[in-house]
């Protein structure tokens, strides 16, 4: 009989903070239900009943926290609970979905391609560290590789910080992305007319995917004419809807364009990419309230995916044990 693997639960950063408080500052969790849920989740993770993968988003947001004791407590909680499980870089995932769609294959990636214990996964790099001593037995070589990555990941979470110039450059890119979405929303608000906003969202999604689309077309051997036959202005929505991750991004973009009072902010880029990716391939996602609402609203027009909750206590009620 095939053993069913433990469910994959992707936690937004705010819920990792709750887990850290349950370990180091219990008085800072005002809800008794959330405190009890945090204790339950930490125990279930330690018992191997659930998997709590980490991603590049967790690395980025933890590094932004500076070098305070709270940062170290958060890192220690993550390192004690994640059991070397990782989520792939969303840019890699969407490239994989595009390649499969252009090759006219099933567009869902295997879950192992998205969630696994290969330490380079969050960085978009599965190439292991190679020890200079090639005389080691393969099993020992594998252990050296794994430990090297594990210590590197621990160092990133505990002490890595951004140089001012590095963060300024990253922020410029992020804010450019935010400005594009906010300007589009402002234009739609100032020029109301009958238009299919889902098509507008699909065009916005296409614009974000130019590099991955070109790489995917090259990967499957399509020339320009063949690419235009498979992806064109008349089938943008349908093409993207079949992609578990990319389809969610498009649908959430559409939902937000429908709301003229919405405001795009810097954190939206990470949330849109990482939470949509997790919702496409994990069993459960626990996010903030707004993201939870949007991910749930997107469900009718996307492929089956994770059950999404806004609190740890709701997650515990949704688990089968």
pLDDT tens for 181-233 read 999 999 999 998 889 999 999 999 999 999 999 999 999 999 999 999 999 99
pLDDT tier, 15 (very low <50, low <70, confident <90, very high otherwise): very high
282: which strand partners? none
DSSP SS3 for 9? strand
**Quick one: pLDDT at residue 240?**
97
Cα separations in angstroms, 64 against 13, 58, 61, 122, 161: 12, 10, 5, 17, 7
Partners of 10 in beta bridges? 285
Model confidence at 50, pLDDT cuts 50, 70, 90, reads: very high
pLDDT for the residue numbered 146: 72
Which residue, of 113, 142, 159, is where some domain finishes?
A: 159
3-7, 114-118, 124-128, 286-290: segment of lowest average pLDDT: 124-128
pLDDT value at 304 more than 90: no
Q: Looking at residue 1, what is its pLDDT?
A: 59
Whether residue 243 sits in one domain with residue 178? yes
**pLDDT in the model for residue 164:** 84
3 state SS of 116: strand
**CA gap 200, 187 in Å, rounded:** 12
CB atoms within 10 A of CB 199: 14
Do 143 and 13 share a structural domain?
yes
The reply to whether 147 and 199 lie within a common domain is: no
Label residue 17 exposed, middle or buried (CB < 10 Å: 0-12, 13-18, 19+).
buried
**Structural domain boundaries, residue 89:** 9-159
Contact between 50 and 44 (Cβ < 8 Å):
yes
Q: Indicate whether 249 pLDDT > 70.
A: yes
pLDDT digits (tens, 9 = 90+) for 59-117: 999 988 888 899 999 999 999 999 989 999 999 999 999 999 999 999 999 999 999 98
Q: Give the Å distances, CA to CA, from 190 to 175, 184, 253, 260.
A: 22, 10, 18, 10
Is residue 129 very low, low, confident or very high in pLDDT (cuts 50, 70, 90)? Answer: very low
Say if residue 141 is in the same domain as residue 177: no
Give a yes or no: residue 2 inside a domain: no
Distances (CA, A) of 25 to 18, 77, 288: 9, 12, 21
Whether the predicted pLDDT of 133 surpasses 90: no
Over residues 30-55, mean pLDDT: 97
Spell out where the chain has E strands.
9-11, 86-87, 115-116, 284-286, 307-309
What one-character-per-residue DSSP string does 272-285 give?
Answer: IIIIHHHHHHSSEE
Structure tokens at 120: 């380079």
What gap in Å lies between CA 245 and CA 252, rounded to an integer?
11
Is position 19 within any domain?
yes
- Say yes or no: 120 and 205 in one domain: no
- Is 116 among the domain residues? yes
Q: What is the pLDDT of residues 152-189, one digit of tens each?
A: 778 888 887 888 898 899 899 999 999 999 999 999 99
Average of per-residue pLDDT values in the chain: 91
Could you tell me if 69 and 279 are in contact, meaning their C-beta atoms sit under 8 angstroms apart?
no
Residues 130 and 82 in one domain: yes
Token pair in block for residue 4: 């069913």
Residue 106 lies in a domain: yes
Residue 306 lies in a domain: no
37-47 mean pLDDT: 97
For the chain, helix (H) and strand (E) counts, in that order, are 17, 5
| Number of structural domains in the chain | 2
In the block, which residue shows the tokens 């190679």?
130
Residue at a domain's end among 136, 159, 182: 159
Q: What is the pTM of this model?
A: 0.92
Q: Which residue among 273, 297, 315 closes a domain?
A: 273
The percentage of residues in the chain with a pLDDT greater than 70, rounded to a whole number, is 94
Task: Decide if 310 is inside a domain.
Answer: no
| Domain shared by 17 and 155, yes or no | yes
Higher pLDDT, 304 or 81: 81
């Amino acid at each position: 009989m095939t053993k069913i693997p433990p469910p994959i639960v992707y936690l937004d950063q705010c819920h990792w903070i709750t887990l850290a408080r349950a370990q180091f500052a219990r008085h800072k969790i005002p809800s008794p239900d959330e405190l009890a849920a945090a204790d339950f989740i930490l125990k279930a993770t330690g018992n191997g009943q659930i998997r709590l993968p980490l991603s590049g988003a967790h690395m980025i947001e933890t590094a932004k926290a500076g070098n305070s004791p709270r940062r170290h407590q958060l890192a220690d909680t993550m390192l004690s609970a994640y059991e070397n499980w990782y989520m792939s870089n969303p840019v890699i995932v969407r490239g994989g979905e595009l390649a499969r769609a252009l090759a006219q294959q099933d567009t869902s990636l295997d879950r192992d391609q998205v969630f696994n214990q290969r330490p380079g996964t969050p960085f978009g790099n599965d190439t292991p560290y190679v020890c200079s001593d090639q005389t080691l037995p393969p099993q020992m070589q594998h252990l050296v590789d794994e430990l090297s990555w594990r210590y590197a990941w621990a160092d990133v979470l505990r002490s890595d910080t951004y140089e001012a110039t590095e963060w300024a450059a990253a922020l410029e890119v992020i804010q450019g992305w935010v400005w594009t979405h906010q300007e589009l929303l402002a234009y739609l608000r100032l020029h109301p007319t009958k238009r299919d906003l889902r098509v507008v969202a699909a065009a916005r999604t296409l614009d974000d995917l130019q590099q991955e689309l070109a790489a995917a077309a090259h990967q499957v051997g399509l020339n320009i004419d063949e690419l235009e036959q498979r992806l064109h202005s008349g089938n943008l929505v349908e093409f993207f809807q079949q992609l578990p991750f990319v389809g969610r991004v498009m649908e959430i973009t559409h939902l937000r364009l429908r709301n003229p009072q919405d405001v795009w902010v810097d954190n939206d880029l990470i949330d849109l990419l990482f939470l949509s990716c997790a919702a496409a391939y994990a069993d459960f996602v626990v996010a903030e309230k707004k993201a939870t609402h949007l991910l749930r609203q997107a469900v009718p027009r996307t492929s089956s995916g994770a059950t999404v909750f806004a609190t740890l206590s709701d997650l515990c009620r949704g688990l089968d044990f």
